[in-house]
Amino acid sequence: MSRAAKQRLASVGLWLVTFLLMVIMCIPGLWVVLSAFRPNREILARPPVWVPERLTLNNFAKIFGLGEAQVAIPVGSYFMNSLVIALTSTFVALVIGMAGGYAFARFRFRFKNSLFLSLMLFRTVPGIALSLPLFMLWSRLGIIDTQMGLIIVYIALNVPFTIWLIDSFFRQIPMSLSEAAQVDGCTRWQAFWKIEFPLAKGGIAAAGVFAFLTSWNEYALAAQLTRSTDSKTLPVGLMDFTAQFTIDWAGMSAMAVIIIIPALILTFLVQKHLIRGLTFGGVKG
């Protein structure tokens, strides 16, 4: 067998393995989506019903209080809470991340490396490990069960990652571009917005998507720090479908689809910048 044939065979084998792994990864998500459009009895059927007999929107109608069969779960309030908390924490984390990432990439200051390492070490601490001290502290501050309390937590969780990611992109932009712009009459601020920011916006978009998904999907801390419909998020609201002896799998799957949709829409809208941002570091000019 020739070398070219071996390479082609290896490429086909790698493609098949990758395809099988992707199928295995997608099966749970596909099952959730299908379960959102079929009745609970079909989900609980034994043996499992892989191909739904018929698809229905009744599960979505029930959780939004439409039709004859309804569930007393304020999905609309949970959705708005998640949206406000995720968007606000992402925006603030990006602003701080851009300032911090630019400072670490462009300036020299005392304890720079130690401070950067401290931020990265803080990011390695599991969020659930902070739930008890945060609960005690937030209770004393009076911000338990509030949107602001959860926003502050998510900002703290996202800032180290956004600083690290944005810093890596600013480091790959030659400093000479900014210096040339300043020689031509731009201020440092104008050079940043007109030269450096456009080149780094792919990385900033990638950081924003990851920060949003972290805030949107987080469950452990939100379950500890929220109690009422004023602050509960969609992932926490999923537990409202569980009772002492039964679980409304159909309603839970319908809400899971509602959780997935905004994340897919956001990723689709910024996919151009996201792909450019994730691959920017692998291409050298």
User: Is residue 136 domain-shared with residue 33, that is, in the same domain?
Assistant: no
User: Is residue 42 domain-shared with residue 89, that is, in the same domain?
Assistant: no
pTM, entire model: 0.83
pLDDT at 43 (0 to 100):
85
Find the range with the poorest average confidence among 124-128, 149-153, 248-252, 275-279: 275-279
HSE at residue 16, side-chain half, CA atoms within 13 A, is 6
What number of other Cβ atoms are within 10 A of residue 173's Cβ?
Answer: 19
Question: Phi then psi for 14, rounded to 5 degrees?
Answer: -65, -40
User: Is residue 133 domain-shared with residue 238, that is, in the same domain?
Assistant: yes
pLDDT at 195 (0 to 100):
84
Q: Is 66 a domain residue?
A: no
Q: Is the pLDDT of residue 30 over 90?
A: no
User: Is residue 109 domain-shared with residue 188, that is, in the same domain?
Assistant: yes
User: Is residue 115 domain-shared with residue 24, that is, in the same domain?
Assistant: no
User: Is residue 29 domain-shared with residue 91, that is, in the same domain?
Assistant: no
Q: Is 70 a domain residue?
A: no
Q: Is 68 a domain residue?
A: no
pLDDT at 285 (0 to 100):
40
User: Is residue 269 domain-shared with residue 151, that is, in the same domain?
Assistant: yes
Any idea what the CATH number is for the domain that residue 196 is in? Answer: 1.10.3720.10
Q: What is the DSSP letter of 124?
A: T
Q: Report long-range pairs for 171-175 (Cβ below 8 Å, ≥24 apart).
A: 171/105, 172/280, 172/281, 173/199, 173/200, 175/106
Residue 119 vs residue 279, higher pLDDT: 119
User: Is residue 48 domain-shared with residue 85, that is, in the same domain?
Assistant: no
Residue of 207, 220, 231, 224 lying closest to 85 (CA atoms): 231
Task: List the domain range (segments joined by +) for residue 41.
Answer: 3-57
Cα distance between residue 58 and residue 121, in whole Å: 47
Q: Is 247 a domain residue?
A: yes
Find the range with the poorest average confidence among 22-26, 33-37, 82-86, 269-273: 269-273
What would the pLDDT profile of 241-255 be if each residue is shown by its tens digit?
A: 887 677 888 888 989
User: Is residue 210 domain-shared with residue 134, that is, in the same domain?
Assistant: yes
Residue of 92, 120, 85, 122 lying closest to 213 (CA atoms): 85
Q: Is 67 a domain residue?
A: no
- Residue 270 in contact with residue 205, Cβ under 8 Å? yes
